[in-house]
Amino acid sequence: MTKARQLASVTLQPGAVRRITGRYPFGHAGDIAAADAGITPGEVVEVRAPGGAVIGRGYFNPEGATPLRMLTWEREAIDLHFFRSRVRAALARRAGRITGTNALRVLHAEADGMPGVVADRFADVLSVQFRNAGAERHRELILRALREETGAAAAFERSDTGERRREGLALRTGVLWGDVPERVTFFEDDLTLHFSPMAAQKTGFFLDQRDNRRLLRSLLSAGEAFLDVYSYTGGFSLHAARAGATPVAIDKDQVALGVLEREARENGLNVGVRWGDALETLAALEREGRVFGAAVLDPPTLAKRKEDVPRAKRIFTEGAERVLRMLQPGGHLLISTCAHYIRVDDLLDAARVAAGEARRDAEVLAITYQPADHPHLLSVPESLYLKSILLRSLS
Protein backbone atom coordinates (compact mmCIF):
# COMPACT_ATOMS: atom_id res chain seq x y z
CA MET A 1 0.00 0.00 0.00
CA THR A 2 1.28 3.49 -0.88
CA LYS A 3 0.91 5.78 2.16
CA ALA A 4 0.21 9.45 1.42
CA ARG A 5 2.95 10.87 3.64
CA GLN A 6 5.65 8.65 2.14
CA LEU A 7 5.22 9.84 -1.40
CA ALA A 8 8.07 11.52 -3.24
CA SER A 9 7.26 14.73 -5.09
CA VAL A 10 7.50 15.85 -8.69
CA THR A 11 7.00 19.53 -9.54
CA LEU A 12 5.58 20.66 -12.86
CA GLN A 13 6.79 23.51 -15.03
CA PRO A 14 4.39 26.48 -14.81
CA GLY A 15 3.30 25.94 -18.43
CA ALA A 16 2.15 22.36 -17.74
CA VAL A 17 -0.03 23.06 -14.70
CA ARG A 18 -3.21 24.10 -16.51
CA ARG A 19 -3.04 21.14 -18.91
CA ILE A 20 -2.49 18.56 -16.17
CA THR A 21 -4.98 20.01 -13.70
CA GLY A 22 -7.36 20.00 -16.70
CA ARG A 23 -7.26 16.17 -16.53
CA TYR A 24 -4.70 15.55 -19.27
CA PRO A 25 -2.88 12.50 -17.87
CA PHE A 26 0.56 12.66 -19.54
CA GLY A 27 3.55 14.71 -18.41
CA HIS A 28 6.45 14.82 -20.87
CA ALA A 29 10.10 15.46 -19.97
CA GLY A 30 9.75 19.18 -20.70
CA ASP A 31 6.78 19.43 -18.30
CA ILE A 32 8.82 18.44 -15.26
CA ALA A 33 10.63 21.23 -13.33
CA ALA A 34 12.00 19.08 -10.51
CA ALA A 35 11.77 15.60 -9.07
CA ASP A 36 12.88 14.31 -5.68
CA ALA A 37 16.11 12.32 -5.80
CA GLY A 38 15.95 8.55 -5.84
CA ILE A 39 12.54 8.03 -7.45
CA THR A 40 12.55 4.57 -9.02
CA PRO A 41 10.68 3.65 -12.25
CA GLY A 42 6.92 3.45 -11.81
CA GLU A 43 6.81 4.84 -8.28
CA VAL A 44 3.67 6.73 -7.28
CA VAL A 45 4.49 10.40 -6.67
CA GLU A 46 2.73 13.50 -5.43
CA VAL A 47 2.43 15.88 -8.39
CA ARG A 48 2.84 19.55 -7.42
CA ALA A 49 2.45 22.98 -8.98
CA PRO A 50 5.54 25.26 -8.78
CA GLY A 51 4.33 26.82 -5.48
CA GLY A 52 4.05 23.36 -3.89
CA ALA A 53 0.27 22.87 -4.12
CA VAL A 54 -0.66 19.24 -4.73
CA ILE A 55 -2.35 18.61 -8.10
CA GLY A 56 -2.73 14.85 -7.82
CA ARG A 57 -0.83 11.59 -7.97
CA GLY A 58 0.72 9.64 -10.75
CA TYR A 59 3.30 7.09 -11.81
CA PHE A 60 6.74 8.55 -12.40
CA ASN A 61 9.42 6.94 -14.49
CA PRO A 62 12.52 9.15 -14.67
CA GLU A 63 13.78 6.99 -17.56
CA GLY A 64 10.52 6.86 -19.54
CA ALA A 65 9.71 8.74 -22.74
CA THR A 66 6.58 10.00 -20.95
CA PRO A 67 7.83 10.26 -17.34
CA LEU A 68 4.53 11.20 -15.67
CA ARG A 69 1.22 9.35 -15.97
CA MET A 70 -1.53 10.76 -13.78
CA LEU A 71 -3.63 8.34 -11.74
CA THR A 72 -5.82 10.69 -9.75
CA TRP A 73 -6.54 14.33 -9.06
CA GLU A 74 -7.65 13.48 -5.50
CA ARG A 75 -5.61 12.83 -2.34
CA GLU A 76 -6.30 9.11 -2.31
CA ALA A 77 -4.12 6.08 -1.65
CA ILE A 78 -3.07 4.04 -4.67
CA ASP A 79 -3.91 0.65 -3.24
CA LEU A 80 -6.09 -2.38 -3.89
CA HIS A 81 -9.22 -0.38 -3.09
CA PHE A 82 -8.19 2.24 -5.70
CA PHE A 83 -7.59 -0.32 -8.46
CA ARG A 84 -10.76 -2.24 -7.60
CA SER A 85 -12.86 0.88 -7.84
CA ARG A 86 -11.31 1.74 -11.22
CA VAL A 87 -12.10 -1.73 -12.57
CA ARG A 88 -15.61 -1.57 -11.12
CA ALA A 89 -16.21 1.83 -12.75
CA ALA A 90 -14.95 0.50 -16.09
CA LEU A 91 -17.31 -2.48 -15.90
CA ALA A 92 -20.24 -0.25 -14.90
CA ARG A 93 -19.55 2.11 -17.79
CA ARG A 94 -19.80 -0.78 -20.25
CA ALA A 95 -22.83 -2.47 -18.68
CA GLY A 96 -25.55 -3.13 -21.25
CA ARG A 97 -23.64 -1.37 -24.05
CA ILE A 98 -21.85 -4.35 -25.59
CA THR A 99 -24.34 -6.93 -26.78
CA GLY A 100 -24.35 -10.05 -28.93
CA THR A 101 -20.96 -11.22 -27.74
CA ASN A 102 -19.13 -12.52 -24.67
CA ALA A 103 -15.91 -10.69 -25.58
CA LEU A 104 -15.11 -7.09 -24.74
CA ARG A 105 -12.35 -4.73 -23.68
CA VAL A 106 -12.64 -4.35 -19.92
CA LEU A 107 -9.84 -1.80 -19.40
CA HIS A 108 -8.69 0.68 -22.01
CA ALA A 109 -5.68 2.18 -20.19
CA GLU A 110 -5.79 5.96 -19.55
CA ALA A 111 -9.34 6.16 -20.92
CA ASP A 112 -10.40 4.06 -17.90
CA GLY A 113 -8.09 5.83 -15.44
CA MET A 114 -5.67 2.88 -15.50
CA PRO A 115 -2.53 4.13 -17.25
CA GLY A 116 -0.77 1.39 -19.17
CA VAL A 117 -3.24 -1.43 -18.46
CA VAL A 118 -5.24 -3.07 -21.22
CA ALA A 119 -7.48 -6.03 -20.44
CA ASP A 120 -9.76 -7.88 -22.84
CA ARG A 121 -12.26 -10.48 -21.71
CA PHE A 122 -13.08 -13.50 -23.88
CA ALA A 123 -15.80 -15.56 -22.16
CA ASP A 124 -14.16 -16.56 -18.89
CA VAL A 125 -10.58 -15.72 -19.87
CA LEU A 126 -8.79 -12.37 -19.53
CA SER A 127 -5.97 -11.18 -21.78
CA VAL A 128 -3.90 -8.54 -19.94
CA GLN A 129 -1.17 -6.15 -21.05
CA PHE A 130 1.03 -3.96 -18.83
CA ARG A 131 2.54 -1.21 -20.94
CA ASN A 132 4.47 1.04 -18.56
CA ALA A 133 6.69 0.92 -15.49
CA GLY A 134 3.96 2.14 -13.13
CA ALA A 135 1.52 -0.55 -14.19
CA GLU A 136 4.29 -3.15 -14.05
CA ARG A 137 5.29 -2.13 -10.54
CA HIS A 138 1.68 -2.42 -9.33
CA ARG A 139 0.88 -5.53 -11.31
CA GLU A 140 0.05 -7.76 -8.35
CA LEU A 141 -2.53 -5.30 -6.97
CA ILE A 142 -3.97 -4.66 -10.44
CA LEU A 143 -4.27 -8.39 -11.17
CA ARG A 144 -5.95 -8.98 -7.84
CA ALA A 145 -8.40 -6.15 -8.57
CA LEU A 146 -9.11 -7.57 -12.02
CA ARG A 147 -9.58 -11.08 -10.70
CA GLU A 148 -11.87 -10.04 -7.86
CA GLU A 149 -13.98 -7.60 -9.87
CA THR A 150 -14.37 -9.60 -13.10
CA GLY A 151 -14.51 -13.08 -11.56
CA ALA A 152 -12.69 -14.40 -14.66
CA ALA A 153 -11.62 -18.02 -14.20
CA ALA A 154 -8.30 -17.65 -16.04
CA ALA A 155 -5.96 -14.96 -17.35
CA PHE A 156 -2.86 -14.69 -19.47
CA GLU A 157 -0.42 -11.88 -20.15
CA ARG A 158 0.60 -10.41 -23.50
CA SER A 159 2.97 -7.67 -22.38
CA ASP A 160 4.98 -8.04 -25.57
CA THR A 161 4.37 -4.58 -26.96
CA GLY A 162 7.15 -2.22 -28.11
CA GLU A 163 5.95 0.45 -25.68
CA ARG A 164 7.52 -1.54 -22.84
CA ARG A 165 10.98 -1.17 -24.35
CA ARG A 166 10.64 2.63 -24.25
CA GLU A 167 9.88 2.24 -20.52
CA GLY A 168 12.98 0.12 -19.95
CA LEU A 169 10.92 -3.04 -19.37
CA ALA A 170 11.50 -6.52 -20.73
CA LEU A 171 8.72 -8.22 -22.68
CA ARG A 172 6.61 -10.59 -20.61
CA THR A 173 4.02 -13.22 -21.53
CA GLY A 174 2.50 -16.27 -19.84
CA VAL A 175 -0.31 -17.59 -17.70
CA LEU A 176 -1.41 -15.29 -14.86
CA TRP A 177 -3.94 -17.53 -13.15
CA GLY A 178 -6.27 -20.41 -13.79
CA ASP A 179 -6.45 -22.88 -16.60
CA VAL A 180 -5.74 -20.99 -19.83
CA PRO A 181 -6.90 -23.12 -22.76
CA GLU A 182 -4.78 -23.72 -25.85
CA ARG A 183 -7.55 -22.12 -27.90
CA VAL A 184 -9.58 -19.35 -26.31
CA THR A 185 -13.21 -19.61 -27.49
CA PHE A 186 -15.80 -16.83 -27.62
CA PHE A 187 -18.69 -15.74 -29.81
CA GLU A 188 -19.55 -12.68 -31.83
CA ASP A 189 -23.18 -12.82 -32.94
CA ASP A 190 -23.69 -16.17 -34.69
CA LEU A 191 -19.99 -16.94 -35.11
CA THR A 192 -17.90 -19.08 -32.78
CA LEU A 193 -14.36 -17.71 -32.77
CA HIS A 194 -11.00 -18.78 -31.36
CA PHE A 195 -7.41 -17.70 -30.99
CA SER A 196 -4.28 -19.13 -29.52
CA PRO A 197 -3.31 -16.98 -26.49
CA MET A 198 0.42 -16.91 -27.17
CA ALA A 199 0.48 -16.96 -31.01
CA ALA A 200 -2.20 -14.35 -31.71
CA GLN A 201 -1.46 -10.69 -32.56
CA LYS A 202 -1.83 -8.06 -29.81
CA THR A 203 -4.24 -9.18 -27.05
CA GLY A 204 -5.75 -11.88 -29.30
CA PHE A 205 -8.50 -10.49 -31.48
CA PHE A 206 -9.49 -7.09 -32.89
CA LEU A 207 -12.55 -6.50 -30.74
CA ASP A 208 -12.60 -2.86 -31.79
CA GLN A 209 -13.90 -3.66 -35.29
CA ARG A 210 -17.03 -5.41 -33.97
CA ASP A 211 -19.47 -2.62 -34.96
CA ASN A 212 -17.87 -2.16 -38.37
CA ARG A 213 -18.09 -5.90 -39.05
CA ARG A 214 -21.81 -5.71 -38.31
CA LEU A 215 -22.20 -2.60 -40.45
CA LEU A 216 -20.59 -4.18 -43.51
CA ARG A 217 -22.45 -7.44 -43.01
CA SER A 218 -25.76 -5.54 -43.03
CA LEU A 219 -24.90 -4.12 -46.46
CA LEU A 220 -23.99 -7.42 -48.12
CA SER A 221 -26.27 -9.60 -50.21
CA ALA A 222 -26.03 -13.34 -50.75
CA GLY A 223 -23.73 -14.25 -53.61
CA GLU A 224 -21.75 -10.99 -53.57
CA ALA A 225 -17.97 -11.14 -53.65
CA PHE A 226 -16.33 -9.52 -50.60
CA LEU A 227 -12.72 -8.35 -50.34
CA ASP A 228 -11.10 -8.31 -46.88
CA VAL A 229 -7.78 -6.48 -47.17
CA TYR A 230 -5.48 -6.84 -44.12
CA SER A 231 -7.83 -9.51 -42.82
CA TYR A 232 -5.91 -10.96 -39.83
CA THR A 233 -8.06 -13.98 -38.78
CA GLY A 234 -10.89 -12.70 -40.94
CA GLY A 235 -13.49 -11.26 -38.58
CA PHE A 236 -14.97 -9.28 -41.50
CA SER A 237 -14.78 -12.27 -43.88
CA LEU A 238 -16.54 -14.66 -41.51
CA HIS A 239 -19.41 -12.20 -40.97
CA ALA A 240 -19.61 -11.64 -44.73
CA ALA A 241 -19.67 -15.38 -45.39
CA ARG A 242 -22.47 -15.75 -42.83
CA ALA A 243 -24.44 -13.19 -44.89
CA GLY A 244 -24.01 -15.48 -47.91
CA ALA A 245 -21.21 -13.50 -49.56
CA THR A 246 -18.03 -15.06 -50.96
CA PRO A 247 -15.02 -13.48 -49.23
CA VAL A 248 -11.41 -13.25 -50.29
CA ALA A 249 -9.10 -12.42 -47.36
CA ILE A 250 -5.60 -10.97 -47.81
CA ASP A 251 -2.92 -10.86 -45.10
CA LYS A 252 0.83 -11.30 -44.83
CA ASP A 253 0.45 -13.26 -41.58
CA GLN A 254 0.30 -16.88 -42.68
CA VAL A 255 -0.56 -18.12 -39.19
CA ALA A 256 -3.56 -15.76 -39.03
CA LEU A 257 -4.78 -17.03 -42.42
CA GLY A 258 -4.45 -20.61 -41.15
CA VAL A 259 -6.63 -19.69 -38.17
CA LEU A 260 -9.12 -18.07 -40.56
CA GLU A 261 -9.37 -21.20 -42.69
CA ARG A 262 -10.01 -23.32 -39.60
CA GLU A 263 -12.59 -20.82 -38.26
CA ALA A 264 -14.40 -20.90 -41.60
CA ARG A 265 -14.46 -24.72 -41.61
CA GLU A 266 -15.67 -24.96 -38.03
CA ASN A 267 -18.42 -22.40 -38.66
CA GLY A 268 -19.46 -24.22 -41.87
CA LEU A 269 -18.41 -21.29 -44.11
CA ASN A 270 -16.25 -20.76 -47.21
CA VAL A 271 -13.54 -18.08 -47.28
CA GLY A 272 -10.80 -17.79 -49.90
CA VAL A 273 -7.41 -16.63 -48.61
CA ARG A 274 -4.48 -14.92 -50.36
CA TRP A 275 -1.21 -14.80 -48.44
CA GLY A 276 1.07 -11.88 -49.28
CA ASP A 277 1.59 -8.16 -49.31
CA ALA A 278 -1.76 -6.37 -49.54
CA LEU A 279 -0.92 -3.91 -52.31
CA GLU A 280 0.81 -6.55 -54.45
CA THR A 281 -2.09 -8.96 -54.00
CA LEU A 282 -4.59 -6.24 -54.94
CA ALA A 283 -2.62 -5.64 -58.14
CA ALA A 284 -2.76 -9.39 -58.87
CA LEU A 285 -6.52 -9.53 -58.29
CA GLU A 286 -6.95 -6.57 -60.65
CA ARG A 287 -4.95 -8.38 -63.33
CA GLU A 288 -7.25 -11.38 -62.84
CA GLY A 289 -10.23 -9.10 -63.61
CA ARG A 290 -11.93 -9.69 -60.26
CA VAL A 291 -15.03 -7.67 -59.28
CA PHE A 292 -16.29 -7.20 -55.71
CA GLY A 293 -19.57 -6.03 -54.18
CA ALA A 294 -17.94 -4.72 -51.00
CA ALA A 295 -14.53 -4.41 -49.39
CA VAL A 296 -12.69 -3.40 -46.25
CA LEU A 297 -9.22 -1.87 -46.01
CA ASP A 298 -7.98 -2.22 -42.41
CA PRO A 299 -4.19 -1.87 -42.34
CA PRO A 300 -1.94 -1.94 -39.25
CA THR A 301 -1.14 1.34 -37.45
CA LEU A 302 1.06 2.73 -40.31
CA ALA A 303 1.68 6.03 -38.42
CA LYS A 304 3.11 5.68 -34.92
CA ARG A 305 4.34 9.30 -35.17
CA LYS A 306 2.99 12.43 -36.87
CA GLU A 307 5.86 12.32 -39.38
CA ASP A 308 4.62 8.95 -40.67
CA VAL A 309 1.24 10.33 -41.81
CA PRO A 310 2.17 11.32 -45.41
CA ARG A 311 3.58 7.85 -46.11
CA ALA A 312 0.55 6.21 -44.52
CA LYS A 313 -1.77 8.32 -46.70
CA ARG A 314 0.05 7.12 -49.82
CA ILE A 315 -0.56 3.50 -48.78
CA PHE A 316 -4.26 4.22 -48.16
CA THR A 317 -4.50 5.95 -51.53
CA GLU A 318 -2.87 3.12 -53.45
CA GLY A 319 -4.96 0.48 -51.67
CA ALA A 320 -8.23 2.37 -52.08
CA GLU A 321 -7.55 3.14 -55.74
CA ARG A 322 -6.97 -0.52 -56.51
CA VAL A 323 -10.05 -1.61 -54.57
CA LEU A 324 -12.30 1.07 -56.11
CA ARG A 325 -11.32 -0.10 -59.61
CA MET A 326 -12.56 -3.60 -58.70
CA LEU A 327 -15.74 -2.45 -56.94
CA GLN A 328 -19.00 -2.82 -58.82
CA PRO A 329 -21.24 0.30 -59.06
CA GLY A 330 -23.14 0.65 -55.79
CA GLY A 331 -20.47 -1.36 -53.98
CA HIS A 332 -19.29 -0.40 -50.49
CA LEU A 333 -15.76 0.23 -49.23
CA LEU A 334 -14.89 0.68 -45.54
CA ILE A 335 -11.49 2.26 -44.87
CA SER A 336 -10.19 2.14 -41.29
CA THR A 337 -7.24 3.48 -39.42
CA CYS A 338 -6.20 2.52 -35.90
CA ALA A 339 -3.54 5.27 -35.76
CA HIS A 340 -4.22 8.20 -33.46
CA TYR A 341 -2.22 10.49 -35.74
CA ILE A 342 -4.27 9.69 -38.86
CA ARG A 343 -7.41 11.84 -38.77
CA VAL A 344 -10.73 11.31 -40.51
CA ASP A 345 -9.72 14.13 -42.89
CA ASP A 346 -6.58 12.20 -43.82
CA LEU A 347 -8.70 9.15 -44.69
CA LEU A 348 -11.07 11.35 -46.72
CA ASP A 349 -8.13 13.00 -48.53
CA ALA A 350 -6.56 9.64 -49.34
CA ALA A 351 -9.90 8.25 -50.56
CA ARG A 352 -10.59 11.38 -52.65
CA VAL A 353 -7.27 11.08 -54.45
CA ALA A 354 -7.84 7.33 -54.91
CA ALA A 355 -11.33 7.81 -56.38
CA GLY A 356 -10.00 10.54 -58.69
CA GLU A 357 -7.20 8.30 -59.94
CA ALA A 358 -9.67 5.43 -60.42
CA ARG A 359 -12.11 7.84 -62.19
CA ARG A 360 -14.90 6.86 -59.81
CA ASP A 361 -17.52 8.89 -57.97
CA ALA A 362 -18.25 7.84 -54.43
CA GLU A 363 -20.54 8.96 -51.65
CA VAL A 364 -19.42 9.08 -48.01
CA LEU A 365 -22.19 7.09 -46.31
CA ALA A 366 -20.84 7.07 -42.76
CA ILE A 367 -17.93 7.97 -40.51
CA THR A 368 -17.53 5.64 -37.54
CA TYR A 369 -15.41 5.52 -34.40
CA GLN A 370 -14.24 2.88 -31.92
CA PRO A 371 -16.96 1.05 -29.95
CA ALA A 372 -18.05 1.77 -26.37
CA ASP A 373 -15.72 -0.77 -24.77
CA HIS A 374 -12.76 1.23 -26.17
CA PRO A 375 -13.76 4.60 -24.66
CA HIS A 376 -12.64 7.90 -26.12
CA LEU A 377 -12.14 10.15 -23.12
CA LEU A 378 -12.56 13.84 -23.93
CA SER A 379 -9.53 14.85 -21.84
CA VAL A 380 -7.28 12.27 -23.53
CA PRO A 381 -7.11 13.01 -27.27
CA GLU A 382 -4.79 10.01 -27.70
CA SER A 383 -7.63 7.70 -26.67
CA LEU A 384 -9.35 8.36 -30.01
CA TYR A 385 -7.63 5.98 -32.36
CA LEU A 386 -10.04 3.97 -34.54
CA LYS A 387 -11.70 5.98 -37.30
CA SER A 388 -13.39 4.61 -40.40
CA ILE A 389 -15.11 5.97 -43.47
CA LEU A 390 -17.74 4.04 -45.39
CA LEU A 391 -17.94 4.83 -49.11
CA ARG A 392 -20.41 3.78 -51.77
CA SER A 393 -19.13 3.70 -55.29
CA LEU A 394 -21.54 5.53 -57.61
CA SER A 395 -19.98 4.72 -60.97
Ligand X SMILES: C[S@@+](CC[C@H](N)C(=O)[O-])C[C@H]1O[C@@H](n2cnc3c(N)ncnc32)[C@H](O)[C@@H]1O
- Give the active site residues: 338
User: Of 202, 156, 210, which Cα lies nearest the Cα of 183?
Assistant: 156
Going by C-alpha positions, the residue among 61, 54, 55, 45 that lies closest to residue 24 is 55
| Nearest approach, Cβ of residue 20 and ligand X (Å) | 32
130: CB partners within 8 A, 6+ apart = 116, 117, 136, 139, 142, 157, 159, 164, 172
Among positions 93, 214, 252, 325, the unique one binding ligand X when judged by CB under 6 A: 252
User: In the window 153-212, what residues touch ligand X (CB under 6 A)?
Assistant: 201, 206, 209
Cα 222 → chain centroid: 31
- For residue 207, the minimal CB distance to ligand X (Å) is 9
Q: Closest CB to ligand X among 106 and 227? A: 227
Residue 346 C-alpha from the chain's centroid: 19
Contacts with ligand X, 220-249, as mask; x by CB under 6 A? ----------xxxx-xx-------------
Nearest distance from C-beta of residue 298 to ligand X, angstroms: 4
Determine phi and psi for 359, rounding to 5 degrees.
Answer: 55, 45
Contact flags string 314-353 toward ligand X, x per CB under 6 A: ------------------------x---------------
Q: Which of 47, 51, 42 is nearest to 14 (CA)?
A: 51
Q: Does 253 bind ligand X (CB under 6 A)?
A: yes
- Minimum CB–partner distance for residue 11 and ligand X (Å): 40
Is residue 256 near ligand X by the rule CB under 6 A?
yes
SS3 289: coil
Residues 166/305, Cβ–Cβ less than 8 Å: no
Q: How far apart are CA 146 and CA 130, in angstroms?
A: 13
Q: Are 147 and 106 within 8 A, CB to CB?
A: no
Question: Using the rule CB under 6 A, is 278 a contact of ligand X?
Answer: yes
Contacting residues toward ligand X, per CB under 6 A: 201, 206, 209, 230-233, 235-236, 250-253, 256, 277-278, 298-300, 338
